[in-house]
Structures are given as C-alpha cells and as structure tokens.
Chain A
Amino acid sequence: METHIEIRKLNAYYGDSQALKDINLEIPRQQVTVIMGPSGCGKTTLLKSLNRFLELGDGTRLSGQVLIDGEDIYAPEVDVTEMRKKTGLLAQRPYPLPMSIYDNVAYGLRIHDLCKKGPEMDKKVRHFLEEAGLWEEVKDRLHKPAVGLSIGQQQRLCLARGLAVQPEIILGDEPTSALDPISAQHIEKRLLDLKKEYTIVLVTHILRQAKRLADYVVYMYLGEVVECGAASDVFEYPRQDRTRAYLAGQF
C-alpha cells in the first residue's frame, strides 16, 4: 500500500507539557485511517499537526517532520495556505461560514480562483453538494443563510465546502460527535464513498465507529502510538496489553 503521509519523530508541546512523544507513522493513500484512544491521549493534537493548525495556538512547539507526498510540510519554504488547501478539515462541531449555503461552497472556489463565476460556479457548487449528500435537501434554498440548516446538514455543508477546494486529504476531528445518529450515519456513509478518491484520517473515541470505518488503525495512549496496523489485525489480534484493555472497554 502506498504511503501518503509520513510522520517522522514528531514531538509536540503545549507550554511545558509534552502532548506527542516521538511519533513515527505512515498513513496509506486512499484509505480510512482511524486514530483512537482515550481523552487527552494526543489524537487531536496529532491530527492538527497534519494541517499545521497546532501553530495557531499560543505556546505550542513542534519538532520532527510530516511528509505529505514526500515533502515536509514544516519546511521553511512551504507556503502554509497552499499546504492547507491540500487538507480538508471536518471539525467536531460544524461551523458554517456567515454567508449563504451557496457561498459557503463557493468560498473556497473563489479564494483559490478554481473556476469562473456564473454557470460554471453553479455547476461546481451543485457537484460538491451532491458529493456531500446535501443537494436534494438544499437545492431550493441555496441563497438562504447556512445557519438555518440543522446541525447534521451543517456538517455535510462543511464537508462540501472542504471538498470544493479539491484537497487530497480529509481530516476528521470526531466529526460526528455533535450529530444525531441519523446525521452521523450520513457522514459515515459519505466518508466511505469518498475514500475512493481521498485519504481520510479520522479521530474518534467511538469504538464501534472505528470498527465500521477503519482500514487502518492507530491506537494512542498518553501521547504515544501504542499500536498501529491494518484494522482487522488490530481489532482481532491486538499485540499490546494496553490496546487489548482499551478494546475491552477498560479505559
């Protein structure tokens, strides 16, 4: 399996406390990689290191390398905005932009100058809304405020908005945790469809969700990667005691 993202000797600190300890990982292309672990184990930190979001916080430090397609995204010559265009992010709680449904999707297309105004833009917006499984529900109110949608619809809108900038990687930070079960199912189904084209990295603390979605699993504990490998191996034959304990529900 081809490696898409490679993490080498990654350490991250919030002030004095170390959140990630010497992480080495390879994340395969066009697969769903799920990062699991108890709260505070560093899974969100690891995810945020992949689109350089860690540096937005105060007092964060980072060392090591994250290579996407073999290029270190922390190299000094890298343009952060260009790099972030390659990764789409689904946050824990959906945050639509303060504009219409249409403009939410068109926003990325406009700032990156990906297509012209008019019919071409309309077509693209429709395409990405369809890809996110939202088109049928919103086609009659495209120019209404995005905040009028339900939380579940908002999360799919955020997915469409992220897909519109044509990323290679989709990062999900517990993207279904704020959603009702039906909406969560919607998102899960979409992610499974999307892995044909995108590399998906998902943080979750829901074990059953991990089992449903994962091709590849990373289990973290206290800032370290305890175990990683193909989902079937990790779930059925965990090698480490700590993984076994977590899977048995002891954490």
Chain B
Amino acid sequence: MKNRHFAKRHVEEGIFKALMIGSFALLSASLGFILLTIIIKGLPALNLAMLIQTPKGGYYLGKEGGILNAILGSLYLAGGGTLLALLFSLPLALFLKVYTNHSHWSDMVRLALDVLWGIPSIVYGAFGFTIMLALNMRASLLAGIIVLALLELPIMTRAMDEIIRMTPFDLEQASLALGATRLETAVHVVLRQMLPGIVTAILLAFGRGIGDAASVLFTAGYTDRIPTSLMRPAASLPLAVFFQLSTPFPEVQRRAYASALILTAIVLTISLGSRWLSGRLGKFVVK
C-alpha cells in the first residue's frame, strides 16, 4: 500500500520533470534554429562593407555597399527612445513604490501601463503619425525616438515597478528610522538595492525598441544616409531587413539575413553586457 503511494508520487514528479525538460528543449531548439538560419543564410553575404558603408544603388534594390545607415539609425533610435523613456519611468516606478504602494490610484496607474503594454506597436506608429501630421512635422529621427519612448515606457516602468516592489519593507524602514525622507530612501536605498534589476528592465525596453519595425515605419521614415540631424529621417535595422527581404532579387534577400544577423548580434552583445553589469552592481544588494 505504502509502496504504491510512493510510486504514484514518483510518477507525478517524473511527468513534471519531463514537461520541464521538454519545454527547455523546445525553447533552446527554436533559439538554435533561428540563429542557425540567419547565420547560414546571412554569413555569406556579410562582409566588412556591410558594416562600414551606406547602401549603393538604394536600400531597396542595392546589391552593393552596406547598412551602416541602418545600424547607426537603430542605435540612435533605440538608444534615444530608451533614454527618454528612462527619464519618465524611473521616477514613476519609484513614486509608485515609495509614496503610493497600496493606494487605489497606483493600481489605476499600473492598469493603464498594462493596457499600454498590450497595444500593438503599429498603433503607436499610427498615433505618432497622426500627431506629426497635426504638427506639420515630417518623418524624422526625433519623431521616431519619441514614438519608441512611448512604446518602451510601459514595459520599462512595469518591469522596474515589479522589481522595485520586491524591496524588503524592513530595508525601507531601516532608512526611515534614521530620519531619512521618503525621497532619500527611494534614491539612496531602494534604487541602490534594485540597481541590477533596473538595468535588466532598461535592457528589456531597449530590446523591444531596437527590434520594432512598425512604430518607426511612418515616424522615422527611411533613408540611405547616415543620420546627422534629429529633424531628418533615419534608417533602422528591422526596416532594412523588411525592405531587403521584399525585393525580388536573391542577392539582396541574402543581405536581409546578414542585416538580421547584425541586429541579433547587437541585441546579444547588449544582453551579455547588462548581465555582466548587473553582476557587478549586485555586490551591495541586501538579501
């Protein structure tokens, strides 16, 4: 009797372990296949010229030159958007924690952010485009940055909010007991404690920003030139992939995979960099 009881529990555990291993295998296999595809298809087309030259013969049909315009454009767009979003989301996330943690109002803010998170990026693009029309603005780097910031803001704020909410209340109390104000507690204690997590939140938002094509399609436009002014259009890597892939020429299509490879490499580098940074910043964290 007893043995059967144990056997049943072992079977249960075995099933769930198999499920976990299965999902891990599925996940790593899809990552592997994606990487493999862009490496096999993109690597032959990848050369130094891709990285350091602008397109020759136009971004759509050009078989020569490179995508430096899109590399720089994407870095400017996502970097600018992330910085701009950070200016708003960090104070907001701290405010939600330190001043209004449990109030009805903060629940409303969180709900609004969650809804914003769910809105498709093409809607952000269309919204930005409408405003640009109203202001008589043309597609530009600045408009792209603003729309990307809007797109990234809910992700960044909610990710930070979830991380900051994990600060032990005792830690806040330790600071308040010393006669610190709530602001001092937020900036010197909560922020210090949650810095590694905040870096992760910033990266998450940057990742969504740099990979998004729909929101920059109308707002930042596209150009063969390297961006030099906030008021001029800027190219971006996702759109480079999109344009190159939609040409009828196989040579140009292969360049799309090379562009995708470059985009993936940038995201990967930033992920690994932020992991390293989180680890370094984490050494003061109180567990």
Question: Which A residues have a C-beta under 8 Å from some C-beta of B?
Answer: 51, 53, 56, 58, 81-89, 91, 93, 95-100, 107-108, 111-112, 145-147, 158, 161-162, 165
Contact B179 A165 (CB under 8 A): yes
Contact of A111 among B102, B177, B184, B284 (CB under 8 A): B184
Contact B284 A82 (CB under 8 A): no
**Contact flag A82-B171 (CB < 8 Å), given A99-B192, A145-B283, A145-B284:** no
A73 to chain B, nearest CB (A): 13
Contact A91 B170 (CB under 8 A): yes
Chain B residues in 8 Å Cβ range of A161? 174, 178
Contact B175 A97 (CB under 8 A): yes
Tell me the bound Cα distance from A53 to B177 in angstroms. Answer: 8
Tell me the bound Cα distance from A84 to B174 in angstroms. Answer: 11
Which secondary structure characterizes the binding site on chain B? helix
Chain A CB within 8 A of B189 CB: yes
Contact A112 B189 (CB under 8 A): no
A159 to chain B, nearest CB (A): 12
Contact of A162 among B169, B176, B177, B193 (CB under 8 A): B177
Q: A171's closest neighbor in chain B, by CB?
A: B177
Contact of A56 among B171, B173, B174, B181 (CB under 8 A): B173
Chain A CB within 8 A of B286 CB: yes
Contact of A97 among B102, B181, B283, B286 (CB under 8 A): B286
Could you jot down 13 A-B contacts, CB within 8 Å?
A: A81-B181, A82-B179, A83-B179, A87-B177, A89-B173, A91-B170, A93-B170, A97-B188, A97-B192, A98-B193, A98-B286, A112-B179, A145-B283
**Contact flag A53-B192 (CB < 8 Å), given A96-B286, A98-B285, A111-B184:** no
Which secondary structure characterizes the binding site on chain A? mixed
A52 to chain B, nearest CB (A): 9
Contact of A147 among B174, B179, B284 (CB under 8 A): B284
Question: Which B residues have a C-beta under 8 Å from some C-beta of A?
Answer: 102, 168-171, 173-181, 184, 188-189, 192-193, 283-287
Chain A residues in 8 Å Cβ range of B184? 111
Of the candidates B174, B184, B287, the one having the most CB atoms from chain A within 10 angstroms of its own CB is: B174
- Give the total number of A-B pairs whose CB atoms are below 8 A apart: 86
**Contact flag A58-B286 (CB < 8 Å), given A95-B171, A107-B188:** no
Tell me the bound Cα distance from A165 to B177 in angstroms. Answer: 10
Contact B284 A91 (CB under 8 A): no
6 smallest CB-CB distances across A and B, nearest first, come from A85-B179, A89-B177, A98-B193, A84-B179, A98-B192, A95-B174
Tell me the bound Cα distance from A249 to B183 in angstroms. Answer: 46
Contact A98 B284 (CB under 8 A): yes
Q: B285's closest neighbor in chain A, by CB?
A: A98
B185 to chain A, nearest CB (A): 9
Chain A residues in 8 Å Cβ range of B176? 53, 56, 81, 84
Tell me the bound Cα distance from A178 to B183 in angstroms. Answer: 30
Chain B residues in 8 Å Cβ range of A165? 178-179
Contact B177 A51 (CB under 8 A): yes
Tell me the bound Cα distance from A89 to B179 in angstroms. Answer: 11
Q: B188's closest neighbor in chain A, by CB?
A: A107
Chain B residues in 8 Å Cβ range of A86? 179
- Given pairs A108-B178, A111-B180, 5 additional interface contacts (CB within 8 A): A56-B173, A81-B176, A97-B171, A97-B192, A107-B180
Chain A residues in 8 Å Cβ range of B283? 145
Contact A100 B177 (CB under 8 A): no
